[in-house]
Chain A
Amino acid sequence: MYGFEALTFNIHGGYLEAIVRGYRSGLLTAADYNNLCQCETLDDIKMHLSATEYGPYLQNEPSPLHTTTIVEKCTLKLVDEYKHMLAQATEPLSTFLEYITYGHMIDNVVLIVTGTLHERDVQELLEKCHPLGMFDSIATLAVAQNMRELYRLVLVDTPLAPYFSECITSEDLDDMNIEIMRNTLYKAYLEDFYRFCQKLGGATAEIMSDLLAFEADRRAVNITINSIGTELTRDDRRKLYSNFGLLYPYGHEELAVCEDIDQVRGAMEKYPPYQSIFSKLSYGESQMLDKAFYEEEVKRLCLAFEQQFHYGVFFAYMRLREQEIRNLMWISECVAQNQKSRVHDSVVFIF
């Protein structure tokens, strides 16, 4: 039914699309960020946020605030909104919404497994987990000793189970293995999400494939940069790249053999959309790359709202909110640590 979503979309998706667009208009604006950046203390931030949609979540916090409290409460708002939408959603939107959280689930699994490896307290680790990526038996992850057990005991019940098929080994868990596992899982997740969106068809497929391709490419670049100078072989590195996106397949070949950041740059500059990102950076620099990617992502996410009758807005909204929370965290940290000069280093304005 390509092109005819407008006829039927509103039957199930109309209400939630309206909701999500309403939520989006609650995102902080540039004026809000300007005010926030001028704050002197965390109390000022709280006061400013109390005039925004975060107000009800922060108003009952006692006065010596911590950055973590602010972030926690802001995340709580996102989670509440997500749960509200999920509760209202019907198929296939509910599945789509669930897909959005799998990324957090992977991160949480990795967090817990790494934490137990370093003998941290499980409760402490659980508190650090992203609430969107929680699943029932997450605490049991601590029991597992190797990947196979991890899969057999816990993950077989979770939606992540199919993604595990590629990384079941009997090897003991160590930092390197876990990182590879994270990327393998993420690769499988992105590919699965991509296929799911293609199956949905219409504007959803069109917009989501663009957003997911960007995500996949960004991960490919990050994997490359992070694996430079490690013992990861080129073939292994190649295997971690998702099998879609703008860079697939020729860009991947080039990235796989990169030995330093400038080679990555050389490979990426052949692709016009990424040329502009890399042209902002000076040679040999990779610090600001994250911010540049985030800015590009935010731009693309905002564009998703320009079209109607597709599910991309839900994905875009969740991502934008997460970016906003990252911004708030950065601003609060800068304010708390008296580093106000660095406030603008990492804040990505959404509008």
Chain B
Amino acid sequence: MEYIDRLPAMDLMRSEKMMLVQLIIPVESAHRAVSYLGELGLLQLRDLNDDKSPFQRTFVNQVKRCAEMSRKLRFIKDQIHKAGLTPSPSPAPQPDIDLEELEIQLEEHEHGLIEMNANSEKLQQTYNELLEFRMVLQKAGDFLLSTGSHVAAQETELAENIHVSDDYVETSSLLEQEMLPGPSNQTGVRFISGIICKSKVLRFERMLFRTTRGNMLFNQAPADDQILDPATNELVEKIVFVVFFSGEQARVKILKICEAFGANCYPVPEDAIKRRQITREVLSHLSDLETTLEAGLRHRDKALISIGFHLAKWMNMVRREKAVYDALNMLNFDVTKKCLVGEGWCPIFAKTKIQEALQRATTDSNSQVGVIFHVMDSVESPPTYFKTNHLTNAYQEIVDAYGVAKYQEANPAVYTIITFPFLFAVMFGDWGHGICLLLGALFLIAREKKLSSQKLGSFMEMLFGGRYVLLLMSLFSIYCGLIYNEFFSVPFHIFGSSAYGCRDTTCSDSRTVGLIKYQDTYPFGVDPSWRGSRSELPFLNSLKMKMSILFGIAQMNLGIMLSYFNARYFGNTLDIKYQFVPQMIFLNSLFGYLSLLIIIKWCSGSQADLYHVMIYMFLSPFEDLGDNKLFWGQSVLQVILLLLAVIAVPWMLFPKPFILKRLHAERFQGRTYAALGTSDIYDDEEPDSARQPHLEEFNFSEVFVHQMIHAIEFVLGAVSNTASYLRLWALSLAHSELSTVFYEKVLLLAWGYDNLVIRLVGLAVFSFATAFILLMMESLSAFLHALRLHWVEFQNKFYSGEGYKFRPFSFAALNDDED
């Protein structure tokens, strides 16, 4: 017993010792103190203003200001992104600026940007209009030419018409905005030309047709260039149209429809010369605008780049400020309004560091009064905090996914680090597949620095997070694969030649009569000669099944042992005597005995039937074992073990609740009015107030039922959990059979043909099946089953998982959270 106490402390086994501390911070140094604490990241502040809504808290205005600033920063970032620039931190270190200054600067920048955007948008609009006008002129001109010639053939007063129209156009071109009615005014046919989005053309045409009752001619041609839509910043394809119609009513309606569909109408003179002239004008305007636009854009880009230098830093700064004010909002003002009072949890080892940080804050802010820091008693259970590193973190996550350990409870993650990958490998034992996994894991680990800084997809994120799990899983797979002697299901003679050989040189009867053993047993793993023999499956099944039972019993025993350590650590002798001991006896007298038989059978080479032994141990314990006897005194031992198991059940069921009842009765004996003083009594008896005293009333029936459930669960669980470990055998069998099928029925079959194409196809199918079915799906299923074995079969023996995680106020965690 003393030996256990003298063992060196294991960091990961028990969560860090925590303490509840109170901080009394003078107002003038509060901000600095909290930000130093945030940099340190070892104190979890408790929200003392839980009852207040966010905007009733003290520092709400500052929080709002920070939110506003981060909105501006997001806006700027968005602008930078839209402009196609990448914000890079500036080469030269920037001088620190304080928040007020930053606020003013941001205000200026945002204002400037919005103005520049508005200007360039206006310019862009004009530019777009001119561009569209140019296209309309070009395309519509073509239509008019063709229709014009068509008309020319028909009309006799052609020359006259042109003269008239010439005059008309000249006068109306002065009124630029006026819609130009076509020159064929006299014939009553007029036209409107314009441009519209490609997606709307069909509906537009239909609508026109309906309103004019078919009395119109619709011509369209796709525009040459795409036009930038300033609203969405995307290029839109547009179509130039010309509608011919007659009548004033129709004109009004068509214009309305154009407006409704967002089609821009432009006047096009019918005369070709006039058209050319206008086109020239438009083109010159266009080139002018282009240069202006470009200059504006350059100017904006320059501004954006100069902001981009600071952007990352500013964002970080604002985020921190906001976090600091959020943290300050969790503090309380004391009565004098001169100090802020805060409470929080911190690990004991961090005490000096926190004190140092607070001291630094006091001196840095020239405060008269230092920060008062003292430890408080608490009835609440402290948060659970495990210090993990790269490797252990993933395993701790696996355990936490089931439930966070209670404060100072034995942490299964310690054992999970080895048992998890090992149990996985028992199901995934193939050293070929293991090497593939290993390469993947090594790739992830080698690029750890690069990958951890960038954002990955959800799947890659998961894979990357579990890279060390993957590493150990692959190493163990290689190990188990060597034991199973499977390389993509093919056995190899790595450790010398097989122990078995043919009876004679012809080897004719090897399939019928079998081989004989002519040298020492194969030194490591399964003998390659088993492969393909008729007794391969029975042999491997028996091996793997027994092996799974051994692993299962070992792991469950470990679980029960851990419950002993827990009980011992929390000083709960009752649990040791009436829970741990009978549980050990029950499990080992039945299934521990089975394991013993398995090992004896393996060592002695006996042919005893273990099913028979186990079944008749219950059915007729006094009967002679006959051929199935493995060692001397077995029948007597069996009877004793059976008796022990039978005794263990009531042992774990009855004494504990009754003893608890008696203890309770003793404690309150003679105290009829105990209720008043309850809290005092408990405080005296349990100075360690971090553990919650049972203030609730003792309810015997509830305790008894609870104990009954617990006992029944354990007794039934002993059987069902042992059976559950057989999944190790089943999955391992499935894995090896699947890979055999892919190897023999795909690869070898294809190789049998003397045709390159078939061979290549076979190879391709084989490698895809290996990669996707075996490496991905099978490994996932093995992972899940290993997970279940840990969460259910192992952890239910000792782990309650009802704690809550330690979440310190830390800037480092902040940066991970966002973006």
Interface residues of A (CB under 8 A from B): 35, 38-40, 43-44, 47-48, 50-51, 59-63, 122, 136-137, 139-143, 152-154
Give the Cβ gap from A137 to chain B, nearest Cβ, in Å.
6
Our pick among A47, A63, A153 for the contact of B55 (Cβ within 8 Å) is A47
Q: Does B210 contact A (CB under 8 A)?
A: yes
A240 to B75, CA, bound (A): 51
A152 to B207, CA, bound (A): 10
Q: Are B74 and A140 in contact (CB under 8 A)?
A: no
Q: Which of B55-94 contact A (CB under 8 A)?
A: 55-56, 60, 63-64, 67-68, 71, 74-75
Q: Does B455 contact A (CB under 8 A)?
A: no
Q: Are B211 and A153 in contact (CB under 8 A)?
A: yes
In the complex where A47-B54, A60-B71, A153-B211 touch, is A139 in contact with B260 (Cβ < 8 A)? yes
A137 to B67, CA, bound (A): 41
Give the Cβ gap from B249 to chain A, nearest Cβ, in Å.
10
In the complex where A137-B207, A153-B210 touch, is A122 in contact with B54 (Cβ < 8 A)? no
Q: Are A39 and B259 in contact (CB under 8 A)?
A: no
Q: Does B669 contact A (CB under 8 A)?
A: no
Q: Which of chain B's residues have a CB closer than 8 A to the CB of A48?
A: 53-55
Most chain A CB neighbours (cut-off 10 Å) among B56, B203, B256: B256
Our pick among A35, A122, A152 for the contact of B259 (Cβ within 8 Å) is A122
In the complex where A122-B260, A140-B257 touch, is A38 in contact with B68 (Cβ < 8 A)? no
A140 to B75, CA, bound (A): 36
B75 and chain A: residue at smallest CB distance: A60
A38 to B54, CA, bound (A): 11
Give the Cβ gap from A146 to chain B, nearest Cβ, in Å.
13
In the complex where A38-B53, A152-B210, A153-B210 touch, is A140 in contact with B71 (Cβ < 8 A)? no
A153 and chain B: residue at smallest CB distance: B210
* 8 contacting pairs across A/B (C-beta < 8 A): A47-B60, A60-B71, A60-B74, A140-B256, A140-B260, A142-B256, A142-B260, A143-B260
- Sorting the interface of chain B by its residue count into under 10, 10 to 19, 20 to 34 or 35 or more gives 20 to 34
Q: Are A153 and B207 in contact (CB under 8 A)?
A: yes
Interface residues of B (CB under 8 A from A): 53-56, 60, 63-64, 67-68, 71, 74-75, 203, 207, 210-211, 253, 256-257, 259-262
Q: Which of chain A's residues have a CB closer than 8 A to the CB of B64?
A: 43, 47
List 13 additional contacts besides A47-B55, A142-B260, A143-B260; criterion CB under 8 Å: A38-B55, A47-B64, A48-B53, A48-B55, A50-B67, A59-B67, A59-B71, A60-B74, A137-B260, A139-B260, A139-B261, A140-B207, A142-B256
Q: Which of chain B's residues have a CB closer than 8 A to the CB of A140?
A: 207, 256-257, 260-261
Q: Are B257 and A143 in contact (CB under 8 A)?
A: yes
In the complex where A140-B260, A143-B257 touch, is A35 in contact with B53 (Cβ < 8 A)? yes
B70 and chain A: residue at smallest CB distance: A59
Give the Cβ gap from B185 to chain A, nearest Cβ, in Å.
24
Q: Are A143 and B53 in contact (CB under 8 A)?
A: no
In the complex where A39-B55, A44-B55, A47-B67 touch, is A143 in contact with B211 (Cβ < 8 A)? yes
Q: Which of chain A's residues have a CB closer than 8 A to the CB of B68?
A: 63
Q: Which of chain B's residues have a CB closer than 8 A to the CB of A153?
A: 207, 210-211
A60 to B67, CA, bound (A): 10
A40 and chain B: residue at smallest CB distance: B55
Give the Cβ gap from B78 to chain A, nearest Cβ, in Å.
8
Q: Which of chain A's residues have a CB closer than 8 A to the CB of B75?
A: 60
Give the Cβ gap from B390 to chain A, nearest Cβ, in Å.
33
A345 to B24, CA, bound (A): 45
B114 and chain A: residue at smallest CB distance: A62
Q: Are B256 and A137 in contact (CB under 8 A)?
A: no
Q: Are B54 and A51 in contact (CB under 8 A)?
A: yes
A139 and chain B: residue at smallest CB distance: B260
A32 and chain B: residue at smallest CB distance: B53
A122 to B261, CA, bound (A): 11
Q: Which of chain A's residues have a CB closer than 8 A to the CB of B67?
A: 47, 50, 59
Give the Cβ gap from B112 to chain A, nearest Cβ, in Å.
15
Q: Which of chain A's residues have a CB closer than 8 A to the CB of B256?
A: 140, 142-143
Q: Which of chain B's residues have a CB closer than 8 A to the CB of A141?
A: 260
Give the Cβ gap from B113 to chain A, nearest Cβ, in Å.
12
Q: Which of chain A's residues have a CB closer than 8 A to the CB of B259?
A: 122, 139
Q: Which of chain B's residues have a CB closer than 8 A to the CB of A62?
A: 71
Give the Cβ gap from A48 to chain B, nearest Cβ, in Å.
7
Give the Cβ gap from A52 to chain B, nearest Cβ, in Å.
11
B254 and chain A: residue at smallest CB distance: A143
Q: Which of chain A's residues have a CB closer than 8 A to the CB of B207?
A: 137, 140, 153-154
A35 to B259, CA, bound (A): 45
Give the Cβ gap from A278 to chain B, nearest Cβ, in Å.
37
Q: Which of chain A's residues have a CB closer than 8 A to the CB of B54?
A: 47-48, 51
B252 and chain A: residue at smallest CB distance: A143
Q: Which of chain A's residues have a CB closer than 8 A to the CB of B56?
A: 38
Q: Which of chain B's residues have a CB closer than 8 A to the CB of A38?
A: 53, 55-56
Q: Which of chain A's residues have a CB closer than 8 A to the CB of B60?
A: 47
A43 to B55, CA, bound (A): 10
Give the Cβ gap from B276 to chain A, nearest Cβ, in Å.
35
Give the Cβ gap from B661 to chain A, nearest Cβ, in Å.
43
Q: Which of chain B's residues have a CB closer than 8 A to the CB of A50?
A: 67
Give the Cβ gap from A150 to chain B, nearest Cβ, in Å.
12
A88 to B64, CA, bound (A): 38
A38 and chain B: residue at smallest CB distance: B53
A136 and chain B: residue at smallest CB distance: B203
Q: Which of chain A's residues have a CB closer than 8 A to the CB of B260?
A: 122, 137, 139-143
A153 to B204, CA, bound (A): 11
Give the Cβ gap from B54 to chain A, nearest Cβ, in Å.
6
Give the Cβ gap from B403 to chain A, nearest Cβ, in Å.
24
Q: Which of chain B's residues have a CB closer than 8 A to the CB of A63?
A: 68
Q: Which of chain A's residues have a CB closer than 8 A to the CB of B210?
A: 152-153
A126 to B203, CA, bound (A): 18
A48 to B257, CA, bound (A): 44
B210 and chain A: residue at smallest CB distance: A153
A152 to B253, CA, bound (A): 14
A297 to B610, CA, bound (A): 70
Q: Which 7 A-B pairs have the closest CB atoms?
A: A139-B260, A35-B53, A140-B260, A44-B55, A143-B256, A153-B210, A63-B68
Give the Cβ gap from A128 to chain B, nearest Cβ, in Å.
16
A116 and chain B: residue at smallest CB distance: B256
A35 to B53, CA, bound (A): 7
A59 to B68, CA, bound (A): 9
A136 to B75, CA, bound (A): 32
A142 to B207, CA, bound (A): 13
A304 to B75, CA, bound (A): 42
Most chain A CB neighbours (cut-off 10 Å) among B55, B74, B257: B55
Q: Which of chain B's residues have a CB closer than 8 A to the CB of A43?
A: 64
A152 to B60, CA, bound (A): 58
Q: Which of chain B's residues have a CB closer than 8 A to the CB of A40?
A: 55
A122 to B260, CA, bound (A): 8
A136 to B54, CA, bound (A): 43
A140 to B68, CA, bound (A): 41
A39 to B139, CA, bound (A): 59
A162 to B443, CA, bound (A): 64
A59 to B67, CA, bound (A): 8
Q: Which of chain A's residues have a CB closer than 8 A to the CB of B261?
A: 137, 139-140
A140 to B262, CA, bound (A): 10
Give the Cβ gap from A309 to chain B, nearest Cβ, in Å.
30
B262 and chain A: residue at smallest CB distance: A139
A44 to B74, CA, bound (A): 20
Give the Cβ gap from A81 to chain B, nearest Cβ, in Å.
22
Give the Cβ gap from B204 to chain A, nearest Cβ, in Å.
9
A141 and chain B: residue at smallest CB distance: B260
Give the Cβ gap from B262 to chain A, nearest Cβ, in Å.
8
A142 to B259, CA, bound (A): 10
A60 to B73, CA, bound (A): 10
A63 to B75, CA, bound (A): 13
Give the Cβ gap from B95 to chain A, nearest Cβ, in Å.
28
Q: Are A143 and B71 in contact (CB under 8 A)?
A: no
Q: Which of chain B's residues have a CB closer than 8 A to the CB of A139?
A: 259-262
A112 and chain B: residue at smallest CB distance: B260
A18 to B203, CA, bound (A): 38
Q: Which of chain B's residues have a CB closer than 8 A to the CB of A152?
A: 210
